């Protein structure tokens, strides 16, 4: 039985069983591989996506739990989001593995706090682990993005493999 998920502004039918974690639906069925698998137990933040603007761990969220939530992945930011511009400008990533999750958590932070201080950044980013220790550059890039013009409210369309829901 197909499950309908709303990803990056598109309503899509997916065939994975309802208890499948969103992470695997995104990566394996929809081809959205920007969201990464790290720990699989909601401890590292590598799999962070937004559900109605709130960060969730896709590795521990079955698609049956999503309801009508609108999911935004790193692909949904479109590549030119202020956070992505700031990440490039400040050369934030080292290995890069954690970075899509970092950016999605930062995206939720800036949506609720347009000018976060160090304490607010630490609080919002606490669950996103970076084994390379890029925390100082991540913090600087969030502040850099906060100083840019506001990001678009709607996610950009991103290519997916599944068919749109009827």
Query: Are 45 and 56 in contact, with CB atoms under 8 Å apart?
Result: no
Least spacing, CB of residue 22 vs ligand FES, in Å: 10
The 45-74 contact track toward ligand FES, x by CB under 6 A, reads: xxx---------x-x---------------
Using CB under 6 A, pick the residue from 55, 76, 93, 155 that binds ligand FES: 93
Query: Nearer to ligand FES by C-beta: 59 or 162?
Result: 59
Q: What tokens appear for 73 in the block?
A: 């992945």
Using CB under 6 A, pick the residue from 9, 33, 97, 113 that binds ligand FES: 97
Query: Nearer to ligand FES by C-beta: 45 or 82?
Result: 45
Question: Per DSSP, which regions of 33-114 are E strands?
Answer: 48-51, 54-57, 70-72
Spatial separation of the C-alpha atoms in residues 41 and 74, rounded to whole Å: 20
* Residue partners of 157: CB distance under 8 A and separation at least 6: 8, 9, 10
Binding site for ligand FES (CB under 6 A): 37-40, 42-47, 57, 59, 93-99, 130-132, 134
């Amino acid at each position: 039985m197909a499950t309908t998920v709303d990803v990056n502004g598109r309503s899509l039918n997916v065939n994975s069983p309802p208890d499948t974690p969103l992470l695997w639906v995104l990566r394996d069925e929809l081809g959205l591989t920007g969201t990464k698998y790290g720990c699989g137990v909601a401890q590292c933040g590598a799999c962070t996506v937004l559900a109605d603007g709130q960060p969730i761990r896709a590795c521990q969220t079955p698609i049956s739990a999503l309801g009508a939530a609108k999911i935004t992945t790193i692909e949904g930011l479109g590549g030119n989001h202020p956070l992505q511009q700031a990440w490039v400008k400040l050369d934030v990533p080292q290995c890069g593995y954690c970075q899509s999750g970092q950016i999605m958590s930062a995206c939720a932070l800036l949506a609720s706090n347009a000018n976060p201080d160090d304490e607010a950044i630490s609080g919002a980013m606490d669950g996103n682990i970076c084994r390379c220790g890029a925390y100082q550059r991540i913090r600087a890039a969030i502040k850099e993005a906060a100083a840019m013009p506001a990001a678009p409210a709607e996610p950009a369309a991103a290519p997916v493999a599944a068919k749109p829901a009827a």
